[in-house]
Structure 1
Amino acid sequence: MLVEGMRGAGKSFWTKVLHDPVLRGSLAQSNTDLRLKAELQRVTDCKALLWDKTGSQDLPNQISVTRWLSNPDFEPMLFWAVVVLAQFEIDPALGMPEPDPFEPWKARIEWAQDKPERMIRALKVLDSKFTATGDTVLVVIDGLDRVSTRFAHTQSLMRGLFQLLLEFRYARGLRFKVFVREDILSTAAATVSDASKIINEKVTLDWTQQDLFGLAFHTIAQEDGAFRKRYEEVSAISGKSVGERWDHPELLTAATQEKFWIWLAGPYMGNAATKGHTYSWIFKHLADGKGRISPRTFLLAVKESLTATQNNFSAHKFIIHHEAIRDGVRHASNARVEELDNEYLWIRQAVEIIKTKGRTVPIDWNDLRSIWITNKDMGNDTVSLIERNQANALIPWEPGSDWDTKVNALRDTMSNIGVLQLRERQRVQRIDLPDIFRLAYKIGRNGGIAVNRKS
């Protein structure tokens, strides 16, 4: 029921695949996990609830949600019950008001607040109806971080959604698939009893080093016949054409992938192994603080490595020059931080202050904490500046929290989403910044990749 993923891991991609009957059908017939195939083949229809920046769906907006959740008696589970029911033809006997053309959700959601038993019963009748006809209808929910800009409200909505998921955990006709960011999921889970029953069954969209290299090789192979030929020689397995797409039936082992990557980029990030091995080096330096890389980031780094080699090292004996790989990581860092700025509007302020104050990483936690709250008496500290952006961003604490709560929430949330790495050295907590973020923010690090390319 729950799918957890970082930015760029594929949450919106899977929402689109599940919602599109053609894509869903193609996947159900593909060479994929047998359990997934069986699940997809049972789905007869899919409704998607997607809160995105385009506002392409007529869903409750942030202003309305803020107004409703400001009422301490508002029950968020019934909010979800109304939104889900509205995707189907509603039985007139339920008595739910018709939507106002200018305020389509107000009357329905407010009407449902004192009818909890009636609303849940309506959903269970819907489930029974689908079960009786042999149908499985999937409701996909994505973009939960955009339903509200208030942290407490987002937590309340997640609590209500957890309660609904627990109520329909064993439903057969009406099924749910919820895609959620890891920072929202980790803080919401503690607010609902029995949430562990769902959390323990969650799926995490993780991409291993082997997955990412396989994806990169597959992507390049679609465009280059010579590449495909060499790929088949190294793997000793022939690919095949499927329509306009070239497909290889197996994911290469890590050892075979490294052999092929060495053919492309050489073995080392310089003249000797002491500079690093190219196959492991690119993965290590693209990873966030939790060792994760999104496919978008990895593909961009490989693409830029190829482009930089053509532009700057065209006479090199390998297809990819090791310095071009560093350029690829820098380029990917800029793109990843741009994504981060769109997703978390407050992170740039929390990170750039490290450079502004002339610090490098790793940095002692006490030093970083001091930097974040400098000038707090005048309200010009980093924490207060972030808090003022509450109307536009999901800030990881509630206004009015004490200073320890705020700075600890800032540190822990950034660690949870992989921007910071917390290390312990001689009983002193140290804060590190992975290269995938550090390079774009242009923060120095002893022994790390240079922020700017050497001339």
Structure 2
Amino acid sequence: MSYPVSEIQEALWQVTDSIPISAEYEAPTLATFFTPPSHIRALRLHTPLVVGARGVGKTFWAQALQKEDVRSLLGQAAPDLRGIHVTIGHGAIPCEEYPSPSTFASLLPGHDAASIWRAVLLKACVSAAGLEPGADMPHSGAEWKTLVPWVADNPERVDRIFLDADRAFARQGMSLLIVFDALDRVASSWKDIDELTTGLLRTALQFSTFSHIKTKIFLREDHCSRISFSFPDASKLLASKVELSWTRAELYGMLWKRLCNGEGASGQCLRGLFAEHLPGSLEERDGAWFFKNTGELTDNVLKLLFHCLTGPYMGKDRRRGMPYTWTVGHLADARQQTSPRSFMAAIARACQDSHDKKYAGMNYPIHYESIKSGVQIASQIRVAEMQEDNRWATELLKELRGMNVPCPFQSVQDRWQEAYAEGPSALVRMHPSHTPPEFESAGWAEVRRQLESLGFCLTLSDGRFNMPDLYRVGFGLGRKGGVKPLS
């Protein structure tokens, strides 16, 4: 390398220190967004349903689609995103474009969920198309308790307004995309969440007949699996569903996009290091650096780049594995999926740890012990995130602290039974809002199945219970020769 280890180490610390590793929402910018080739189909105008686990980028993409400068770049790979208007139909940040959870709660008992969403869509279409729907319709600033009943009582009139809006967009040579995200936050119980989500999916299916009004719904994986999809033509939605995931090369490509866009001398140093392996592959546009050809970012190239930072081994020799594969592998859940948020959290921690500790005899900017520290921190963050969505699951897994895995499932079941003498039904009473209602009459085997579907654990071929490091470390379980949990 033409750059001193200390200089690269300082640059890495400066760039990764600014990454909000534990924040769920980060506004997309030209310098931060990286589009995996596998995500392009999910972002296209005619893809109505996008599903992904927590941390894979659903909210990031929902926000990116609303930003004109980012959308313009996305349009290079997805031409149907050019010349469109994007508005939000529901999101993580409260705004007047859709009801708040308390407003949903007040509307739901007396109104069909589909009518509520039709009111949201009506407001978006009237505003974007610049229509004047008539004096009898509540004005755009009317409260939802006024607009929703009017929509429910005037179905033909509402359909006519939607048709007029679609024709208006056609005359203007544009399309309207209405984005829905964070639907697990529309209500406080799964019963209401599922009812509202099903109502939205039914409504979105009806809107698929319009040529210039489109909807895009981002759903969490476990949320989607709860929906029955038993309404007419639901198979059409499922057939067009796109699942978000990240390959190993895509994760490292995202990392180098962030590193190459570092500010000042730090960014210059890391761009120089990148150029040593891929000369002439970066270009600057609008104050940000981009890859000219993401197809060049193969595993072979990215492995060499990363090992310039870490060295080739996770120890003194090859027996401990290679950092390039080890890092992603130890951040994967039980379904072998690694989220970009967990990955970036681990890398940021590793850079900080190496910068602060200055391990003796370091020949590379990132020490392999720092990468292990990064996995520990990423695991803690992941456990805290999942606790927000699945408290019943995290409370159960906390009971296993101190155990070693793999282990017989009977040992796990004994721990759970000791903590919850009444069995899984106790979880329903303790956490009624988000615990699967089927636990009321289920056994521990069904609980294990639900945990496996969420990626918390897996069953080995010999029947033993196992847990990936992403969760094992955070929940305080041990593994022979594995990364140690933080005390």
**TM-score of the aligned structures, taking structure 1 as reference length:** 0.84
Kindly indicate whether residue 189 of structure 2 is the aligned counterpart of residue 153 of structure 1.
no
Q: Which residue pairs with 1:344 in the alignment?
A: 390
Q: Which residue pairs with 2:62 in the alignment?
A: 15
Aligned length: 429
Deviation at 1:22, TM superposition (A): 3.5
Q: Which residue pairs with 2:242 in the alignment?
A: 203
Kindly indicate whether residue 419 of structure 2 is the aligned counterpart of residue 419 of structure 1.
no
Structure 1 letter corresponding to 2:437 = W
Q: Which residue pairs with 1:278 in the alignment?
A: 323
Q: C-alpha distance in 2, partners of 1:169/1:360?
A: 51
Kindly indicate whether residue 97 of structure 2 is the aligned counterpart of residue 41 of structure 1.
no
Structure 2 letter corresponding to 1:150 = S
Structure 2 letter corresponding to 1:84 = L
Kindly indicate whether residue 486 of structure 2 is the aligned counterpart of residue 449 of structure 1.
no
Q: Which residue pairs with 1:244 in the alignment?
A: 287
Classify 1:315/1:195 alpha carbon distance in 2 versus 1 (closer, same or farther; 3 Å): same
Structure 2 letter corresponding to 1:360 = N
Deviation at 1:149, TM superposition (A): 2.0
CA contact (8 A) 2:119 2:151 kept: yes
Kindly indicate whether residue 209 of structure 2 is the aligned counterpart of residue 167 of structure 1.
no
CA contact (8 A) 2:331 2:338 kept: yes
CA contact (8 A) 2:189 2:434 kept: yes
CA contact (8 A) 1:15 1:140 kept: yes
Q: Which residue pairs with 2:34 in the alignment?
A: none
Structure 2 letter corresponding to 1:21 = E
Show CA shifts across 1:58-107 (max 9, x none). Answer: 63233443454446xx4322221112112234754594445896xx2123
Classify 1:24/1:375 alpha carbon distance in 2 versus 1 (closer, same or farther; 3 Å): closer
Of residues 157-166 and 139-148 in structure 1, the stretch that sits farther from structure 2 once superposed is: 157-166
Deviation at 1:255, TM superposition (A): 0.8
Kindly indicate whether residue 361 of structure 2 is the aligned counterpart of residue 323 of structure 1.
no
Structure 2 letter corresponding to 1:351 = L
CA contact (8 A) 1:420 1:433 kept: yes
Deviation at 1:240, TM superposition (A): 2.7
Q: Which residue pairs with 1:261 in the alignment?
A: 306
Kindly indicate whether residue 172 of structure 2 is the aligned counterpart of residue 137 of structure 1.
no
Q: C-alpha distance in 2, partners of 1:366/1:123?
A: 58
CA contact (8 A) 1:6 1:181 kept: yes
CA contact (8 A) 2:113 2:200 kept: yes
Deviation at 1:214, TM superposition (A): 1.3
Q: C-alpha distance in 1, partners of 2:94/2:51?
A: 23
CA contact (8 A) 2:169 2:176 kept: yes
Task: Give matches, 1:271-310, under 5 Å.
Answer: 271-310=316-355
Kindly indicate whether residue 440 of structure 2 is the aligned counterpart of residue 402 of structure 1.
yes
Classify 1:375/1:450 alpha carbon distance in 2 versus 1 (closer, same or farther; 3 Å): closer
Classify 1:97/1:387 alpha carbon distance in 2 versus 1 (closer, same or farther; 3 Å): farther
CA contact (8 A) 1:349 1:382 kept: no
Q: Which residue pairs with 1:86 in the alignment?
A: 123
Q: Which residue pairs with 1:235 in the alignment?
A: 278
RMSD, aligned α-carbons: 2.9
Kindly indicate whether residue 231 of structure 2 is the aligned counterpart of residue 192 of structure 1.
yes
Show CA shifts across 1:259-299 (max 9, x none). Answer: 22222211111122221121110010011122222222212
Q: C-alpha distance in 1, partners of 2:465/2:232?
A: 33
**What is the aligned-residue identity percentage?**
27
Structure 2 letter corresponding to 1:423 = L
Of residues 415-424 and 116-125 in structure 1, the stretch that sits farther from structure 2 once superposed is: 116-125
Unaligned runs of 5+ in 1: none
Q: Which one of 352, 356, 362 corresponds to residue 406 of structure 2?
A: 362
Classify 1:364/1:129 alpha carbon distance in 2 versus 1 (closer, same or farther; 3 Å): farther
Classify 1:164/1:353 alpha carbon distance in 2 versus 1 (closer, same or farther; 3 Å): same
Higher relative contact order (CA 8 A, sep 6+): 2
CA contact (8 A) 2:181 2:219 kept: yes
Show CA shifts across 1:391-438 (max 9, x none). Answer: xx533337xx63218x5664444333322224342xx3x432211122
Deviation at 1:211, TM superposition (A): 0.7
Task: Give matches, 1:364-383, under 5 Å.
Answer: 364-369=408-413, 371-374=415-418
CA contact (8 A) 1:60 1:105 kept: yes
CA contact (8 A) 1:352 1:441 kept: yes
